[in-house]
Structure 1
Amino acid sequence: MNRRRPQVYMMDLLATVPYYTAYLSRALQQRGVDVRVGSITYYLDLECFRSRGLRLAPGFLDVVGRFRMLPRTVRRVAKLLETVLNLFVLAVRFLVKPPQILHVQYLPMLRSRLPVDWWFVRLLRWRGARVVLTVHDLLPHDTADRYRALFQRLYSGVDRMICHSSVVAERLANEFGVAPDLVSVIPHGPFFYDLQGGESVDAVRARYGIEPGQQMVLWQGIIFPYKGLDLLLEAWAEVEAHVSDATLLVVGTGSAEITTEVRAQVARLELKRVVLDLRFLSAEELTALYRAAAVVVYPYRAITTSGALATGVALGKAVVASDLPVFRELLTKGVDALLVAPGDAGALAAATLRLVQDATLRGRMEVAMQAKDFGAASWRSIAADTEAVYESVLQTD
Structure 2
Amino acid sequence: MPTETKRKRESSSKINGPLPDYTITVAPTSDYPPILASSHGISMPPTTQFTPYAHTANPPAKKSRKAEEFLLYGETPRIGYEGREMSEDGEYRRHYVGIFNPETNGIELHVAPKLHFSRMIKAHIKRDRLVDGKGVVMSNVDSRTALGKEFGTKKSQKRLRELELNKIDVSDMGKDITTSIVSQVEANTKDMPTATELGNQIRENKPIPKVNHDAKHPNEVYNLEDIIGSDEYNVIWVREWERGEELRSKSSFVQSRIRKLSEDKNKKHTRPLKILRYISFMIDFYLFQQRGRGRLPAMDRVKKALSIDHVIAEGFFRRFTEKTISGEGGSDKETYAVSPALANKILYHMAVLCLMVDQYDVDIFELKNDLGVQPKELTLAFKEVGCSIRELTKPQYTAMKMTKAEAAQHKRAVLKIPLEFPKPPTRRAKATGR
Higher helix share: 1
Q: TM-score, normalised by structure 1?
A: 0.21
- Normalising by structure 2, what TM-score? 0.20
Pick the structure with more strand per residue. 2
